[in-house]
Structure 1
């Protein structure tokens, strides 16, 4: 297969960037530029050759025939119209494809009628549009005030027609000997000759305008690449008139992104990027690690939320606001020339950040070389400020997600919570009060690492009126954490009792073991009674959700009381009768049926529609319920069948003796459904 080569007529930033793009992909490129300075800016690569000379049509044809490129790219300046015409003519003569690389301009020459003096004033009254350097000079000839020319050395001669131009005109040009010599020949020297290489910031432009007391700034409309926005901003701040040599919009050709996509397809190229996922700590510069600073500084493209970008972006760096994995990947691919990109995340990438989902998405992206740069997490920073350790703390995030705060507080002496703001702090403190923890100490930290850092401490009761701005981190201290918490087998005496039936402690322990709950299980307790099974199940599935379904008003009241008394925060009470009450509930992993009201078959059918692989445990005392449960099991395809009868006797004291009193024997049916998906 013949190697495909590209011939580029360059001399612009776009041409240099295209050369870098192709060279990085080992495409052979020959670049023709007008000056030695332009040649010196090209990347050094084994696949890139270059020459500097001004060519006419015949010389261009000779070079095209000699090099035999697959494509000829015209990446010359938008104002070099004659050069573009010559390149296009040479391509037509040699039978080679001509690709014009367009520069996307911010504003084009207005199409409305020009004024009588050959100018068109912009809508702000301080911008004057002309079609050529000659027209700019004619406009300025009878005006008063000093002039700064930023149009390059080629157009300087036109401005020598301005009366007193040696005193009025200041020219900013490249610091090339040939350019300086030309300026001296035109009488521009000393302070009137500014030899500098761009790009120029708005601040530097403004400083020059003020230093030389410039009244008119003359520029070409060269888009963002040519620094036009910075010149316009400086002129506006200095109160100077912006004289713009406009250009008519080029209609034929490719914008950068379009040309890269076209060449990528035609040359069968593949893109590749180095992507750093960077934890930047709290956001203040002092909280960045040296590795994080280096990764951000070396990245040509920074991606992240606005607050993160504002913390680390440097002048001239390309930035994209994005935080979802798909948007981040799309942002990187919009910049095929930028080989190094960094996604900036607050805190540490391994701690409640977007890095997890982003890394999962990157597994399907072979064009990315990924590294993760750790940062200082808010937890480590906060605990360091409080002079406390956090290896013995429960750590959870309630920032845009749910978790079982009460379980963490009950079982740990320290609980650290990431909150989303003042409202979340107030909600957390109100929840603590509901479950009897209103007296616990709560310390809140906001705007960590910034000068306005705010750290406050009080009881949950006091902090329930907390006000602050921005994300908040909390430390909740429970001196009795883990010491008074019940494990499996909550004593019957711990429950609020009534006249509603309750599954006793021993039966409850066996039934729950048969249920096989996990910490994230979704479970139903149907016919919940006083809620003893539901409450203990919610304590076991502390990161899941348990739904207690009960039709008896007294039972519903008892369930809620027991929920608060035994801190079963993961429990939701559902008033109503099954199976109708199950309709809007999420699919369960496990179902406990302690009371069915004679509708066991209907209940099981409803549960199976939600999850054909559900785990079921049924308790029965009456022979009729035993028969019904056995008949239902025979109609359901299932596995891991287990049927036990449990008889429990409890001792009671009679004088100096202890006598055993038997409880009603209980049948426990357990099985895992194995029905086909409908």
Structure 2
């Protein structure tokens, strides 16, 4: 005995049958035609019956099987069938549910009051149209632009009718002279043959083959233009029906979700495993470019790239059993897969794809195993510094101006001879790949969908974490923090690669440079008030190609206004404003890590007073207050002897709130 009987014939009906069978509920799927049976595959829990049933036959079936529930998912225009099912359920006292189609972009019919309105509507559209309203009102459609190519008229095969159509301009392949009735299969074949986007029909009921036209249109993803008034049926959606069934038969609904790397975008770059996943999917989700690249005709689609919105949509649409989320390139290469996995759970299937780096590097004939791989799409990666210190750098750009902006910066920092391999619209028909020197691309306007590989023959080895020799810097009369002190101070700062750093009283910029070489994915702000020192900082910034280092002219703390909150701050000179500077830094970020270099005892005393005040403000707050005193001596040659000459002692003070 079947626990459920589903009257199918629509996509929703087929989905309900599969849904119940997959959750091990014995179900009988009733379809009216042999064509309908081909849409369902029988299993141990699903049996299919292909036969039109009268009301009496339905009553007999229900009496014999005694199902717990009957679901009517027949077509909205099969009004007589719906009424028969309803009455048969009432007589047998069986629970009845009418399942109605949710409107979507490819299923939503257009309703008009007259043939004139239908013709007016078609004037606003593009794509081919199958006209099934006969020849009498065909003249009204001759006002549709390019009608002799777009419109395909199906009329009776009478000589007089054909002559009339020819006089109106309908002839050749655009005139279909055939005698009905037409099955759903025949209508579908015509829509596909003529690549139609619309089907125009009158609401002529059962005798006029109206239902078969609508079913064919829906199955082909064609929009019906119906001359007549829309139906106003009462029922529930497929999603609600699935929820009702899950509660009734006590099973939980959890779809199989696949995160699919689709390659560059062309179906040719999708793996066989990926194509199989798409073919079996009920729903495709992704940004429009990605979803449209893989979805098959008649598949439902949800255009979205934000992880939380995707998870919410899947949760609120339980009717989808197999969901594919299309992600560009490979799921492990600058992809949204990580966040989606957190939201969707460990049962989510992951299928890799061909990443842009693999595809592009193969196209230009370079290996990528020794390349620095970064993404500048929507994030800071300090590309100039990467190119300065790496022979090969692959980067995703993501803006039309990306190539030109990079080329201008490279040229400014003396790297105009760097070769830029540029790839745009990879794998598409308009794919573009070329190579030029950076100096030749400063005004280039490209495509947003782009990548580059910078090839720098003269790349310099990446500098040590900190402790550059003093001789490496361009120096003037401005004071400079010496190598040994910089080494200790940088160690105390404990920078990360994405740190946001202040160098207050930057002098020549030696500490700023060391910061920038460590925080390769962060930002460094060198704050200095003296004009000669500012010029030295700019020269050192250019020498080391530190595009993510910004020079700020002014006196702290006023010069700090408007800057982003720091994670780390080095104070080498305070101009007597140490207390105020510390106060502003803590206002911007209570957890900022500060390292202060003090030469004079007065500055040490001021720093200690600041620490005492911080501790007194809140006894529950714990502060790290580390103080190191350095006494450095350097050797000096005197004849054939070496004497040690002492440098000024330096106090290195570290302050940070402990959390």
Question: TM (normalized to structure 1)?
Answer: 0.77
Return closer, same or farther for 1:661/1:223 CA change in 2, 3 Å cut-off: farther
Offset, 1:576? 3.3
Aligned to 1:123: 118
Return closer, same or farther for 1:566/1:586 CA change in 2, 3 Å cut-off: same
Is the counterpart of residue 642 in structure 1 residue 626 in structure 2?
A: yes
Return closer, same or farther for 1:608/1:34 CA change in 2, 3 Å cut-off: same
Aligned to 1:100: 98
Is the counterpart of residue 8 in structure 1 residue 6 in structure 2?
A: yes
- Of residues 591, 600, 607 in structure 2, which corresponds to 1:622? 600
- Work out the CA distance in 2 between the residues paired with 1:168 and 1:408: 70
- Work out the CA distance in 2 between the residues paired with 1:572 and 1:145: 71
Return closer, same or farther for 1:656/1:426 CA change in 2, 3 Å cut-off: same
Cα deviations by residue, 1:323-360 (Å, 9 ceiling, x for unpaired): 22234335545764443232223322211222232223
Cα deviations by residue, 1:477-512 (Å, 9 ceiling, x for unpaired): 222323484652222233333343221222111111
Offset, 1:382? 2.2
Counterpart contact for 1:638–1:671, Cα < 8 Å: no
Offset, 1:260? 3.0
Aligned to 2:170: none
Return closer, same or farther for 1:39/1:247 CA change in 2, 3 Å cut-off: farther
Is the counterpart of residue 465 in structure 1 residue 443 in structure 2?
A: yes
Aligned to 1:169: 179
Is the counterpart of residue 443 in structure 1 residue 412 in structure 2?
A: no
Offset, 1:606? 2.8
- Work out the CA distance in 2 between the residues paired with 1:233 and 1:251: 20
Is the counterpart of residue 340 in structure 1 residue 318 in structure 2?
A: no
Return closer, same or farther for 1:137/1:295 CA change in 2, 3 Å cut-off: closer
Offset, 1:528? 2.0
Counterpart contact for 1:641–1:670, Cα < 8 Å: yes
Aligned to 1:75: 73
Counterpart contact for 2:492–2:654, Cα < 8 Å: yes
User: Could you say what secondary structure the match of 1:328 adopts?
Assistant: helix
Q: Which runs of 5+ in 1 are unaligned?
A: 113-118, 128-135, 149-166, 175-195, 210-216, 235-241
- Work out the CA distance in 1 between the residues paired with 2:61 and 2:269: 56
Number of aligned residue pairs: give it. 598
**Where does 1:587-602 land on structure 2 (aligned, <5 Å)?**
587-602=565-580
Offset, 1:555? 3.1
Aligned to 1:132: none
Offset, 1:232? 7.0
Aligned to 2:551: 573
- Work out the CA distance in 2 between the residues paired with 1:8 and 1:381: 48
Aligned to 2:283: 301
Aligned to 1:359: 341
- Of residues 481, 486, 491 in structure 2, which corresponds to 1:503? 481
Q: Whose radius of gyration is greater, 1 or 2?
A: 1
- Work out the CA distance in 2 between the residues paired with 1:523 and 1:276: 41
Aligned to 1:324: 306
**Where does 1:284-299 land on structure 2 (aligned, <5 Å)?**
284-299=266-281
Q: Which moves more between the two structures, 655-664 or 498-507?
A: 655-664
- Work out the CA distance in 2 between the residues paired with 1:451 and 1:145: 36
Aligned to 1:147: 156
- Work out the CA distance in 1 between the residues paired with 2:306 and 2:480: 48
User: Could you say what secondary structure the match of 1:464 adopts?
Assistant: coil
- Work out the CA distance in 1 between the residues paired with 2:65 and 2:644: 105
- Work out the CA distance in 2 between the residues paired with 1:592 and 1:542: 17
- Of residues 649, 653, 658 in structure 2, which corresponds to 1:669? 653
Aligned to 1:282: 264
Offset, 1:30? 4.0
Counterpart contact for 2:75–2:215, Cα < 8 Å: no
Counterpart contact for 1:527–1:596, Cα < 8 Å: yes
Return closer, same or farther for 1:123/1:289 CA change in 2, 3 Å cut-off: closer
Offset, 1:284? 3.3
Return closer, same or farther for 1:201/1:420 CA change in 2, 3 Å cut-off: farther
Is the counterpart of residue 21 in structure 1 residue 19 in structure 2?
A: yes
Q: Which moves more between the two structures, 196-205 or 82-91?
A: 196-205
Q: Which moves more between the two structures, 645-654 or 87-96?
A: 87-96
Aligned to 1:152: none
Counterpart contact for 1:79–1:247, Cα < 8 Å: no
User: Could you say what secondary structure the match of 1:124 adopts?
Assistant: helix
User: Could you say what secondary structure the match of 2:476 adopts?
Assistant: coil
Aligned to 2:210: 220
Aligned to 1:491: 469
Is the counterpart of residue 252 in structure 1 residue 234 in structure 2?
A: yes
Counterpart contact for 1:13–1:225, Cα < 8 Å: no
Cα deviations by residue, 1:56-79 (Å, 9 ceiling, x for unpaired): 656655654655544332233434
- Work out the CA distance in 1 between the residues paired with 2:375 and 2:251: 44
Question: TM (normalized to structure 2)?
Answer: 0.79
Counterpart contact for 1:531–1:548, Cα < 8 Å: yes
Return closer, same or farther for 1:203/1:444 CA change in 2, 3 Å cut-off: same
Q: Which runs of 5+ in 2 are unaligned?
A: 123-132, 138-152, 158-176, 199-206, 616-620
Counterpart contact for 2:330–2:352, Cα < 8 Å: yes
Offset, 1:292? 2.8
User: Could you say what secondary structure the match of 1:535 adopts?
Assistant: helix
- Of residues 418, 425, 430 in structure 1, which corresponds to 2:396? 418
